[in-house]
Structure 1
Amino acid sequence: MTSSMDSLPHVFLVSFPGQGHINPMLRLGKKLAVSGLLVTFSTTANLGRDMKKAGSISDTPTPLGRGFLRFEFFDDGRTNEDSVPSLSMSFDQYMPQLRRLGSISLLQILKNQIKENRPAVSCVIGNPFVPWVCDVADQLGIASAVLWVQSCAVFSIYSHHFNGSIPFPSETQPNVDVQLPSLPLLKHDEIPSFLLPNNPLHDIGKAILEQFSNLSKPFCILIDTFEELESEIVDFMSKKFPIKAVGPLFMHCSEIKTRISGDCLRADECMEWLDSKPKGSVVYVSFGSVVYLKQEQVDEIAYGLINSGFSFLWVLKPPASLGVKRHVLPNEITEEAGERGKVVQWSPQEQVLSHPSVACFMTHCGWNSSVEAISSGVPVVAFPQWGDQPTNAKFLVDALGIGIRLSRGAGEDRLIKRDEIEKCLKEAMEGPKAVEIRKNALERQIAAEKAVVDGGSSDKNIKQFIDEIRKRSLVCGGNLQVCPSAT
């Protein structure tokens, strides 16, 4: 270990083992490291192996700016053969196991930092799917914070549901609309689906809601959004919680020169193909790391893309990441697409969305993809499925005016046909509606850029957070057992 690393405040980041959680947490880690902190990033050992296999991370501490970034993984009891937690698994079995074994492993790792000649950890940062991380930090007297990896609007929805102050859909009244302060009226299918009665993934909702019973422990809740994007709701919720909007996190990292990434799959080469296409001519299609569509729906999307006449770049994940069958495109689609279409298993999405040839993004509306599209000035064709995706789609289309809705979510249980897909794509790519949403998207992009520059709203918030960590590090005095979590 270098002497410079010995003197740095040490922050320990703990992420739920999912691509959509790892990416924003690692982006935060890079920003903290560049700003002069020693950052340890941790998730489950299985995901750590995937990241190493993809060539995304290094085994040794990496110098970044004035700090360092290193990786150390905890045990969740899963074997090498186990796949990433996914919709095909039993979350009601996995989540308690993750809590039980993850807590034991993380506790020991944190205790061992000084024994392994690293500075005492002065702050532990978890995310909403692992609320027990704050308990582990509290047990050791270490300050904790939370990185909320969804929008502030969704944070507000979960908070109000937890408090029970406003009616939500129930088994007896499943179609109740939800009216929350500082938010537009939400239809029953526009709230996060994990909160709906009889949702098969209710254990994920329970884990997220559990975070709200723990919010007295973290001294700060960082949110990957920016004040100008959700000004009214950020202002409202900031009066109730110690919120800091610090996003878009990926834009903070745009000038950090490192090959380290959170990808669990190796990205395919597609930039040269994009270079060969005219400006504003390509539809980018990706449904994230977990959403898995029926083969029939994939077929309809394929025909819709072909019939639209536009060039397209389509991310179709391999089955190994989900434990399900590989999608197979109809032979005539592959033949007819020719050079007009390119299908990859994974893409460098940030680079793709910033490429001038990309004109619109058909997306599942996960928050990472949503905020990346917003910040890149790329209009969306909203194809949400579950979780916070229907809520994000509502805001992208109705509140921000930067997209066209193709689906209301998996709850509507219908096959979206090729004609409808073709129509939405044409509306997003050409004509008066396309001009309107592109103009709105560019306005949001400018606002995002202003938020992260020196003196911008997110820049100031993250600097205040780093200053607080430095103060707590001085109080720790290098002794893990007496590092106070109180302000």
Structure 2
Amino acid sequence: MGSDLVHVLLVSFPAQGHINPLLRLAKRLASKGLLVTFSTTEAIAHMMQKANNNITATNTLTPIGKGYLRFDFFSDGWDVDHPQRNDLDAYMVQLNSVGPTSLADLIERQASEGRRVSCVINNPFSPWVLDVATDMGIPCGVLWVQSCAVFSTYYHYLHNLAKFPTSSEPHISVQLPGMPLLKADDLPSFLLPGTPYGCLTELILGQFKNLSKASWVMVDSFDELENSILESISPLVPITPIGPLFKSIDTESDSTSVRGDMWKAVDCLEWLDSHSPASVIYISFGSVVVLGGDQMEEMAWGLRNSKRPFLWVVRPTENSADTRLPKGFLEEIEGQGKVVQWCPQDRVLSHPSIACFVTHCGWNSTMESLSCGIPIIAFPQWGDQITNAKFISDVYGVGLRLGHPKGGPLVTRGEVERCVAEMTDGGPKAEEIKKNSMKWKEAAVKAVSIGGSSDKNIQAIVDDVRGRAENQNGPKADV
């Protein structure tokens, strides 16, 4: 295939919640007529290749729309089974030390093979990627993988533009431009005094370290959803909504088979097909959150006692197949529920049998729910999930809050059962939530449709990338 295409390299932080949105952006850029290489560490590549048949490190090109997608990976310097791989502090030191050289080698190899990189885009959890691109004279961009609201919150905290809770005043509320009043327990938990996750606070605030080097700061959101926040933060940091990436090209068959799952997904669709429309409760707390044993027990029996059919994703605990499910639970739910270790969440949420989503409120899951018009039962655990839950219930009007922090550390089975019943009983509150959910689904589809707000934004970025590539020396990629 001899057509010249501008080559864009996307570099993902090695975590499922970062891979998913960046891979969706990769597909979107490819559909606009670019050659896109998706990259992350070789260790994560090993997991992706085991879970997905079409993830390769070869020069295989997947046609998507007017362009192509390929994969290539770089070393983090550790073996796949290195004993410190699950120690975030140690791993970040290793990645920050080895990553820049490994990535620079990958970029140089692309050029030597006739695929000169004209643009680099990364997740901001690896700010050194922008250093590498800038040092090599390559235009670069960032995809922010949380909400504009959370972006604004972190930015105001970092630059002391608003008063936040302190050890001496732990309960003060925060008023930020374009946002509702945020109580202390509505804020991202990493910003609260006494947080036990100091390393994550540093990592998150470090995302802003090199943003000035980025020509484009993109966010997986859309103007209609966060308009007032975008208007208030844009004069400080130009940020461009290009989402929901989940909805961008879900009808293009060439892209749907390319997935970035780090674990083998169980096909639940046939099981869902056997259930009535809007009857199944879907529960998943993402790839990181693991509930404690007592909370698992209360969640399990609450779901059982709801008497509704449910699909529950339960990740094994670290280094163990133990899922902390109560003894005898699987036998008790036979004929009612299905428990799996991982599933194709995008396809599950798009299935007509899903009634609502019990979620930790990670931004990916939040955007997927909004895009599919699925009501939410919000059960946030930490970080930005807390703020997302506030917006889900009080701003977007698409969900109920399960176990607000003031209610205590343990959510009982009775509270789980009550929330599920309220969401599915067809009462006025449930109807209002469903109506709002469908409103945001329609807005999301419109934003990414040809000529929609996000589609125009991403097309402008593609045009800018092409224009800059024309001013660079040397040939484009010959695919």
Per the normalisation by structure 2, the TM-score is 0.94
Corresponding residue to 1:290 among 283, 288, 291: 288
Equivalenced residues, count: 470
What does residue 485 of structure 1 align with?
Answer: none
Corresponding residue to 1:339 among 335, 339, 360: 335
Q: 1:306 to 1:149 in 2, by over 3 A?
A: same
Alignment of 1:41-60 (within 5 A): 41-55=38-52, 57-58=55-56, 59=58, 60=60
Q: CA deviation at 1:200?
A: 2.7
One-letter amino acid matched to 1:184: P
Q: CA deviation at 1:61?
A: 2.4
Q: CA deviation at 1:413?
A: 6.1
Q: Contact (CA 8 Å) 1:149, 1:224: kept in 2 or not? A: yes
What does residue 268 of structure 1 align with?
Answer: 266
What does residue 238 of structure 1 align with?
Answer: 234
Deviation by residue 1:300-347 (Cα, 9 ceiling, x = unmatched): 11100111111000001133xx43562143344322321210111111
What does residue 470 of structure 2 align with?
Answer: 474
In 2, the alpha carbon distance for the partners of 1:204 and 1:141 equals 30
What does residue 25 of structure 2 align with?
Answer: 28
In 2, the alpha carbon distance for the partners of 1:408 and 1:199 equals 18
What does residue 483 of structure 1 align with?
Answer: none
Q: Contact (CA 8 Å) 1:275, 1:357: kept in 2 or not? A: yes
Q: Contact (CA 8 Å) 1:300, 1:418: kept in 2 or not? A: yes
Q: Contact (CA 8 Å) 1:14, 1:42: kept in 2 or not? A: yes
Corresponding residue to 2:420 among 390, 403, 425: 425
In 2, the alpha carbon distance for the partners of 1:323 and 1:242 equals 42
In 1, the alpha carbon distance for the partners of 2:146 and 2:215 equals 19
What does residue 71 of structure 1 align with?
Answer: 71
Q: Contact (CA 8 Å) 2:264, 2:342: kept in 1 or not? A: yes
What does residue 382 of structure 2 align with?
Answer: 386
Other structure's SS at 2:333 match: helix
What does residue 37 of structure 1 align with?
Answer: 34
Deviation by residue 1:439-476 (Cα, 9 ceiling, x = unmatched): 11111111111101111101100100100110011111
Other structure's SS at 1:361 match: strand
Q: CA deviation at 1:64?
A: 1.8
Q: 1:64 to 1:91 in 2, by over 3 A?
A: same
- Which structure 2 segments of 5+ residues have no match? none
Q: CA deviation at 1:117?
A: 2.2
Alignment of 1:202-241 (within 5 A): 202-241=198-237
Give me the CA root mean square deviation. 1.8
Q: Contact (CA 8 Å) 2:84, 2:91: kept in 1 or not? A: no
Corresponding residue to 1:96 among 69, 93, 96: 93
Q: CA deviation at 1:292?
A: 0.7
Corresponding residue to 1:302 among 294, 300, 303: 300
- Which structure 1 segments of 5+ residues have no match? 481-487
Structure 1 window deviating more from structure 2 (169-178 vs 180-189): it is 169-178
What does residue 2 of structure 2 align with?
Answer: 3
What does residue 116 of structure 1 align with?
Answer: 113
What does residue 174 of structure 2 align with?
Answer: 178
What does residue 438 of structure 2 align with?
Answer: 442
In 2, the alpha carbon distance for the partners of 1:92 and 1:329 equals 30
In 1, the alpha carbon distance for the partners of 2:133 and 2:407 equals 41
Q: 1:219 to 1:97 in 2, by over 3 A?
A: same
Q: Contact (CA 8 Å) 1:195, 1:202: kept in 2 or not? A: no
Other structure's SS at 1:68 match: strand
In 2, the alpha carbon distance for the partners of 1:283 and 1:348 equals 15
In 2, the alpha carbon distance for the partners of 1:295 and 1:336 equals 18
Q: CA deviation at 1:135?
A: 0.8
Q: Contact (CA 8 Å) 2:52, 2:260: kept in 1 or not? A: no
In 1, the alpha carbon distance for the partners of 2:430 and 2:84 equals 38
In 1, the alpha carbon distance for the partners of 2:186 and 2:449 equals 33
In 1, the alpha carbon distance for the partners of 2:475 and 2:166 equals 49
Q: Contact (CA 8 Å) 1:34, 1:68: kept in 2 or not? A: yes
In 1, the alpha carbon distance for the partners of 2:84 and 2:412 equals 31
Alignment of 1:316-335 (within 5 A): 316-319=314-317, 322-323=318-319, 326-335=322-331
One-letter amino acid matched to 1:110: I
Q: Contact (CA 8 Å) 1:83, 1:323: kept in 2 or not? A: no
What does residue 276 of structure 2 align with?
Answer: 278
Report % sequence identity: 51
Q: Contact (CA 8 Å) 1:219, 1:242: kept in 2 or not? A: no
Q: 1:116 to 1:413 in 2, by over 3 A?
A: farther
Q: Contact (CA 8 Å) 1:131, 1:207: kept in 2 or not? A: no
